[in-house]
Structure 1
Amino acid sequence: MTTADSPHRADGWTAAVRQRLGLGRLLPLGGPADGVWISERAAVSVLRRWVCVSGPGPVLGEMRIVPADPDAAPAPALPPPPSALPPGPLRIEAAMSATADQPLPAAAAVLRSALLEAAAARLGLVVTEVDLRVTELLDTVPDRPAPEASGVRGAEPEGTAGVAAAGVPGVAALTRVLGNAVHTDADHVRVELATDGSHQALDVALAVRVVVAAALAGHPPVTVLVTAVVDAE
């Protein structure tokens, strides 16, 4: 049986699935005890943005972030989001294009340094390896592309946990890609949000964990999923 609004519901379901898949991997942010994850899309966006503002240099191509040693990753201290990677060191794999006016090893070293700095300072990602491959030699460095929009819609804060999380400095908005912005389970609460790019994502998420746990009766364990990092204007 169909109804008049079935196409609209189908469109909404399709958009939700595309948004969820667009997050990419859910990466551990910080260490095993921190209880924080970030979407690969959000992390890559910040890394690209940082490279763009760092000045002239190699151009980043395709990028992915994977566990540095999947077999050695410790178990998380708190329940991870669905399909999230286990906590542990990460490796950035990226393609790069460069001009011939600088030796390739030197150009790669500059890019590697920028990526490591951004991962630590802007996000809180534990990255121990950066694997770069040169895919193209350029005559001139092209204009750098504008950063991608986050593609994640904000959600109105609801309930004690939502209001508490939304009030933490550095929280740009609550989001609802995996479901409700605040997901309450039997043994923990998970908060999904976007952070302001002027704050380190891990610092914001850890502050949210503390504030939300203190606001709720029984002070349950709290985990955080960062789905987007919003560039501060």
Structure 2
Amino acid sequence: MTGDGSRVQDGWAQAVRSRLGLGRLLPLGGARDGAWIAEEAAAAVLRRAAGGVPGVVLGKLRIAPAETGGTARSAVPAPPSALPPGPLRVEAEAEAAAGGESLPAAVERLRDALFGACADALGLEVAEVDVRVTGLLDAPSDPSAPGGPNPPPVVGPDRGVAAVRGPEAEAAAAVPGVARLTGVLGDAVHRTDHHVRVELAVAAGRRALDVAGAVRSAVAAAAGADRSVAVLVTAVELP
């Protein structure tokens, strides 16, 4: 690709990210799973998990490709600007309460909570979770008070509901675990001659990768064997 072509591609990717307002599009599962999730949606789930760890306050959070381990070619066309399948790295900043348990123990519990949420609630392939302590807190008397060691989680904004039109959209909306169809990149169901992309929000308590897999199967049956299917999760409802 020429320099001008690269700049055009970079500009397009930036425009898509700006339109999304959702951060990176992260691969869910592996190369054969054909699913992605918006970084903002994944981060909201991780913040919920971190909110259950007393004695620490999660600050900045970033999910990016891991420095070790390669990427794979997706079995289906990816959404615009999406990361290719491959291991991820979670980078988190946190403040710890003074006078509580040892700092290494608190950090380890936070790391375990983030690892667990990535695997059990989302289905992200995470190679490492790096937690950096940026400061110490004086623990207030009420541990659930805002700014205390166990603050309420930050939840991303609701991106709305898209109209359900056509057999593929109806099939996707009927899958258990689909809270609603969304349309951040345009229509909730984007069709070409050989491919279908579905955008959706996952219901609370459901693993995002499992829901995406069920949607792919349902939509493939509705779309016919000549079309591949990809799923983009733009939101995850929190309990």
Q: TM-score by structure 1 length?
A: 0.87
Q: Secondary structure at the match of 1:154?
A: coil
Q: 1:160 aligns with which of 138, 149, 167?
A: 167
Cα distance, 1:50–1:146 mapped onto 2, change above 3 Å? closer
Q: Deviations over 1:69-91 (max 9, x none)?
A: 37711111111100001101100
Q: Number of paired residues?
A: 216
Specify every segment of 5 or more residues in structure 2 that has no aligned partner in the other structure, as ranges. Answer: 1-14
Deviation at 1:149, TM superposition (A): 4.1
Equivalent AA in structure 1 for residue 44 of structure 2: S
Q: Structure 1, residues 71-119: CA drift from partner, whole Å, max 9, x if none?
A: 7111111111000011011000010100232222111100000000011
Contact 1:122 1:197 in 2 (8 A): no
Q: Paired residue for 2:158, among 142, 146, 151?
A: 151
Tell me by how many angstroms 1:56 deviates: 1.5
Q: Is the 8 A contact 2:41 2:156 kept in 1?
A: no
Alpha carbons 1:57, 1:111 under 8 Å: kept:
no
* Structure 2 counterpart SS, 1:59: strand
Measure how far apart 1:185 and its partner are.
2.0
1:218 is aligned to 2:217 = no
Q: Mapping of 1:42-57 within 5 angstroms? A: 42-52=41-51, 54-57=52-55
One-letter code aligned to 1:197: A
Partner of 1:189: 196
Deviation (angstroms), 1:186: 3.1
Residue 47 of structure 1: SS of its match in structure 2? helix
Which aligned runs of 4 or more in structure 1 are off by greater than 4 angstroms?
16-19
| Structure 1 residue 57 displacement after superposition | 2.8
User: Deviation string for 1:171-229 (max 9, x for gaps)?
Assistant: 00000001110011232110000000211000000000000101123352110000000
Range moving further from structure 2, 216-225 or 95-104 = 216-225
Q: Select the residue among 61, 64, 72 that pairs with 2:62.
A: 64
Q: Which amino acid aligns with 1:108?
A: V
Question: Residues 69 and 33 from structure 1, CA distance in 2 versus in 1: closer, same or farther, beyond 3 angstroms?
Answer: farther
TM-score normalised according to structure 2 size:
0.85
**3-state SS of paired residue (1:224):** strand
Q: Provide the identity percentage.
A: 56
1:89·1:126 contact (CA, 8 Å) conserved in 2?
yes
Structure-2 change in CA distance of 1:71 and 1:45 (3 Å):
same
**2:207 aligns with one of 200, 216, 220:** 200
Check whether the contact 2:179–2:200 (CA below 8 A) recurs between aligned residues: yes
| AA at the equivalent of 2:50 | V
